[in-house]
Amino acid sequence: MNSILQSLEDPKRPLLGPNYWIITKMGLLLPQNKLNRIIFIIIHEIVALFVITQYMELYVIRSDLDLVLTNMKISMLSVVCVVKVNTFIFWQKHWQEVFDYITEADKFERQSKDPMKVKIVEAYTKYCRRLSYFYWALVTVTFFTTTGTPLMRYLSSSTFRENMRNGTEDFPHIFSSWMPFDKYHLPGNWITVVWHVVLCAYGAGIMAAYDSLVVVIMVFFGGKVDLLRERCRQMFGEEGDTISDEKCEEVVRQLHNIHVTMLKYSRLFNSLLSPVMFFYMVMCSLVLCASAYQLTSAQNAAQKLLMAEYLVFAIAQLFVYCWHSNDVLIKNENMTLGPFESNWYNMESNQPRKDVLTLSGQLRIENVFTAGPFSNLTLPTFINILKGAYSYYTLLRK
């Protein structure tokens, strides 16, 4: 396993190596070869057409509440997946600009020999690796859970098996979608199973690639803020050191440029992420509500276990976004302490002290990731979504 994970590392991208690898393999980052680009685009749009068939089937099964909830729970996540893919491809150029900035900024920080800066870089790199691999594992478990749900339903219920034999129960499928042939009898039923497994694997790969990449970028911006605060703390040298006014002005100018550049690409990244997260927030409450309702109405332990795992994944997916975005916001607020933690009081002239005030004013500029124009990606937003989902669940139960 260590050998496999090590093969994902890329010396050209010390931080984004594994994440860059998976978005390339999943076709989010389109290849340079024109034929391969066309193939990937066709695959992405075929999946978009499949989502349309899910909503066509939703109209057909509208009288069965359990089937409707199952269809909505999965089709809503499918829509979010399609939105992620198509926005990523449409804004490919801007995503590449963000990748290039992160790679260059990360390499710049890795050149430092300062023990504190080295510690910060190593900490966020190790955290990004663990977070990415953990999230990939969670997505993999959810993939097997989703594809295995019909089989578990068949194996855990003797009544269901008997009903299938006498024809009162239809052949169980992973997704509820329209097919242009009879999907409940041979050979159409097994063709549908294979088709659904392939699409589920595609969706799992897209979520693993997109979500882990976005969260790693958030972690990087949080680490960049920590490094900038440390640079501000050392802007006048260590305790007892003094520097000239000219050197002080040069240091302040460099710190200002680093912060302005970071804000530029942070806002570019937010402009790419914010519309997707707004759409996801709208869908998320309904997905959580449907999952909770099915969990409480499940008839046996196996079904409850499967529904619980799906619910945990939906909550975890939302939580990782809000938690790491909230972490960047808090670190950004604390960054203004950096200039005042320096030994500005040892400077003989007043100019360095004025520079400290100027720089601290620059660092007060808010840097927060948003979900559309209405809400920030923070922990209070996460809690409000859970409250909303519970309200919908209570209404549905009544």
**Which tens digits make up the pLDDT trace of 361-384?**
888 888 889 998 888 999 999 998
Residue 114, CB half-sphere, CA atoms under 13 Å: how many?
A: 14
Distance from C-alpha of 132 to C-alpha of 213, rounded to nearest angstrom: 8
Contact 272, 91 (CB under 8 A): yes
N residues, the chain: 398
Phi-psi region of 237 (alpha: psi -120 to 50; beta: other; left: phi over 0): left
Give CA–CA dist 90/323, Å, rounded. 27
Domain residue ranges of the chain, discontinuous segments joined by +: 2-397
pLDDT in the model for residue 398: 65
Compute the C-alpha angle 86/91/97, nearest 5°: 140
- Spatial CB neighbours of 272, under 8 Å, sequence gap ≥ 6: 87, 91, 94, 95, 98
Tokens of 189: 């039923």
CB 174 within 8 A of CB 78: no
What residues form DSSP beta bridges with 13? 10
Pair 60, 68: CB distance under 8 Å? no
| pLDDT category of residue 88 using cuts at 50, 70 and 90 | very high
User: Mean pLDDT across the stretch 106-111?
Assistant: 93
User: Is pLDDT at 335 greater than 60 in this prediction?
Assistant: yes
Q: 370: which strand partners?
A: 376
Q: In this structure, what token pair is assigned to residue 211?
A: 């979500």
Contacts with 332 (C-beta within 8 Å, 6 or more apart), sequence order: 225, 366, 367, 368
- Cβ contacts of 354-358, under 8 Å, gap ≥ 24: 355/248, 355/249, 355/252, 358/252
Task: Say what the pLDDT of residue 240 is.
Answer: 57
The pLDDT score that the predictor gives to residue 59 is 80
What's the pLDDT tens digit per position in 207-257? 999 999 999 999 999 999 999 999 988 887 766 566 677 778 888 889 999
Spatial CB neighbours of 112, under 8 Å, sequence gap ≥ 6: 118, 121
Would you give the DSSP letter of residue 171?
P
272 C-beta neighbours (distance < 10 Å), count: 19
Distance, in Å, from the CA atom of 185 to the CA atom of 150, rounded to the nearest integer, reads 15
Question: Bridge partners of 10?
Answer: 13
pLDDT of residue 199: 93
Q: Residue 341 carries which side chain, given as an amino acid letter?
A: E
**pLDDT of amino acid 171:** 86
Supply the mean pLDDT for the chain. 87
The answer on pLDDT for 41 being more than 90 is: yes
Strand, helix or coil for residue 375: strand
Residue 223 contacts residue 332 (beta carbons within 8 Å)? no
How does pLDDT run across 260-306, given as a tens digit for each residue?
A: 999 999 999 999 999 999 888 888 877 777 777 777 776 666 667 76
Chain centroid offset of residue 72 CA: 21
- Percent of the chain predicted with pLDDT > 70: 95
Amino acid at 200: C
Q: What is the pTM assigned to this prediction?
A: 0.91
For 370, the enclosing helix (H) or strand (E) is: strand 370-371
